[in-house]
Amino acid sequence: MKTTDLHQEALNRARAGDTQAALDHFAAYLERHPDNGHAWNDAGSVLYAQGRIDEAVRYFRRAAELTHRPPKAFGNLAMAYVATGQPHRAVQWTETLHREGLLDATLIRQCAQAFCAQNDLASAMDVLCRGCAVLSDAAVLETQMETLRDRRAKIAFFVGGDGDTFLKDIIAYARRRYPVRIFDGKTTADVHELMRWSDVSWFEWATNLAAEASKMPKVCRTIVRLHRYEAYECYPSQIRWDAVDTLITVGNSYVVKAMNDRVGDIAAKTSVVRIPNGVDLEAIPFTPRQAGKNLAFVGNLRMVKNPMLLLYCMAALKAVDPEYRLFIAGRMEDPLLGQYVEHAIRSLGLNENIIYDGFQSDIPGWLADKHIIVSTSVIESQGMGILEAMACGLKPAIHHFPGADETFGTQWLFSTPDDFCRLICRTDYDSESYRAFVERRYALSQQLLRINELLVTFEKYPWTPQLSVGAKRLSRLSALAV
């Protein structure tokens, strides 16, 4: 029989139910045509129908590796992996299937069910979320997610008086995956009641609310997230850190140093992990731009923002090139500081060079005609305004505050007004690289994944009175993983 007929004859035998003869013909054909992905896939389908799943996996995998293969080989391989209890391998092919237009809700559901059978609820939820994000017919997946969510660790968020500005994206992310409640009580008893409901209680800001909770009888895992200013206040010394499972910092090592000055070696009392705030790049439009002379300063004017240095930098820049202008977006919080700024602008002759635009609700829109984002802060936890402006495409010029090099590197830092002028007037300008820096280091999606890893660890190792001694050790292991 001609080799070109062997493949067709194998298919005919398979349709007739003579599977062994079909496999014999496939073997003969593939011996002579080992690069025919269609034949490997067809032979794998016959093996799969016979229940010889492990062998089918090898055939489907071989088909998927070849240049000439049917796209359905990817789906067959994924389904075979699910059938052999390897949903993690099946998930690896979902992106390829999506590109080929072959991904469907059935495969996603089966992957999730296989993960649930292994008690891996986190992976089950992850694959369902991915499916919902890319499939148009995701209603059945949403139903499955709702059922699964009820089985997962319960997360409670406690927001202090400083608000949920940096927490909104985290809460939205968590709501998709876990049962979530937000504290809206008023009393200490209300705090403890919600903690008893939760498996993990998250305290945003290391302030009085976290301090009160840390002194209550332990009933759950506890996370405290520190931003910056709290480390320099009295609050850290009021928190019982041995009752906290993990301290999340968003800032640099100087913030942790300030904590150590307050409470001693904080890492000896609780697990400390650094997870920066994430920049939502999907919400920030990128506009490629060329070098220009419009500078931007974003932030309420207060002492920590160091507007005095800002003014002297602009005076030095005016002496180099009077065409540069600085636009300020933000409120004037301190009347005394406001008087000083107005006086300095007049005395330095900067009336034409500094434009105060006040509070802006649409910062990306306000930045549309700006070229450089300037920061003169004496300290920042992270500098979200700088990062968001860089994501828009602006070049940064950042005063070298303690830890600035940890967050931004050194190429955009200045220490003196002369340094500032040299940085501003440099000819290098690359909008794409500023955006890419933020994408690489501070994309919201990356930071949410790291937070989820921590929550998943606590889900796997929930707090119980019997594990109270070992609880800290487990949280430290999670910190290393994150």
Alpha carbon 423 to chain centroid, angstroms: 31
CATH number at residue 78: 1.25.40.10
* Claim to verify: residue 137 and residue 95 sit in the same structural domain: yes
Domain that holds residue 186: 155-278+444-481
**Domain stop point among 94, 121, 149:** 149
* Claim to verify: residue 289 and residue 435 sit in the same structural domain: yes
pLDDT in tens, 432-452: 999 999 999 999 999 999 999
pLDDT in tens, 156-177: 999 977 788 899 999 999 999 9
C-alpha to C-alpha distance for 107 and 110, rounded to whole angstroms: 5
* Claim to verify: residue 267 and residue 401 sit in the same structural domain: no
**Domain stop point among 100, 124, 149:** 149
In b/e form, how buried is each residue of 448-478, taking b as 16+ CB within 10 angstroms? bebbbebbbbbbebebeeeeeeebbebbbeb
pLDDT for 311 beyond 60: yes
pLDDT for 475 beyond 90: no
Mean per-residue pLDDT, 328-350: 93
Q: Please, which residues bridge with residue 248 across strands? A: 225, 273
pLDDT for 318 beyond 90: yes
* Claim to verify: residue 204 and residue 321 sit in the same structural domain: no
Q: What is the DSSP letter of 186?
A: -
* Claim to verify: residue 337 and residue 430 sit in the same structural domain: yes
Q: In this structure, are residues 245 and 216 in contact, taking their beta carbons and an 8 Å threshold?
A: no
* Claim to verify: residue 292 and residue 374 sit in the same structural domain: yes
pLDDT of residue 467: 60
pLDDT for 480 beyond 60: no
* Claim to verify: residue 189 and residue 49 sit in the same structural domain: no
pLDDT in tens, 104-131: 999 999 999 999 999 999 999 999 999 9
* Claim to verify: residue 287 and residue 396 sit in the same structural domain: yes
* Claim to verify: residue 422 and residue 467 sit in the same structural domain: no
Joined tokens for residue 445: 């999606």
C-alpha to C-alpha distance for 197 and 193, rounded to whole angstroms: 6
Average pLDDT value over all residues in the chain: 92
Q: Which long-range contacts (CB under 8 A, 24 or more apart) does 211-219 make?
A: 211/235, 211/238, 211/239, 211/240, 212/188, 213/158, 214/239, 214/240, 214/241, 214/243, 214/244, 215/240, 215/243, 216/188, 216/191, 216/192, 217/192, 218/243, 218/463, 218/468, 219/192, 219/195, 219/463
C-alpha to C-alpha distance for 452 and 174, rounded to whole angstroms: 8
Q: At 151, phi and psi to the nearest 5?
A: -95, -5
pLDDT for 251 beyond 90: no
Count structural domains, the chain: 3
pLDDT of residue 55: 94
* Claim to verify: residue 452 and residue 432 sit in the same structural domain: no
C-alpha to C-alpha distance for 371 and 148, rounded to whole angstroms: 48
Q: How many CB atoms lie within 10 A of CB 160?
A: 17
- DSSP codes, 249-274: E-S-HHHHHHHHHHHS-GGGTSEEEE
CATH number at residue 271: 3.40.50.2000
**Domain stop point among 107, 133, 149:** 149
* Claim to verify: residue 165 and residue 76 sit in the same structural domain: no
pLDDT of residue 478: 44
Whole-structure pTM value: 0.88
pLDDT in tens, 225-237: 999 989 999 999 9
Q: In this structure, are residues 417 and 310 in contact, taking their beta carbons and an 8 Å threshold?
A: no
Mean per-residue pLDDT, 383-394: 96
pLDDT above 90 coverage of the chain, percent: 83
pLDDT of residue 444: 96
* Claim to verify: residue 169 and residue 81 sit in the same structural domain: no
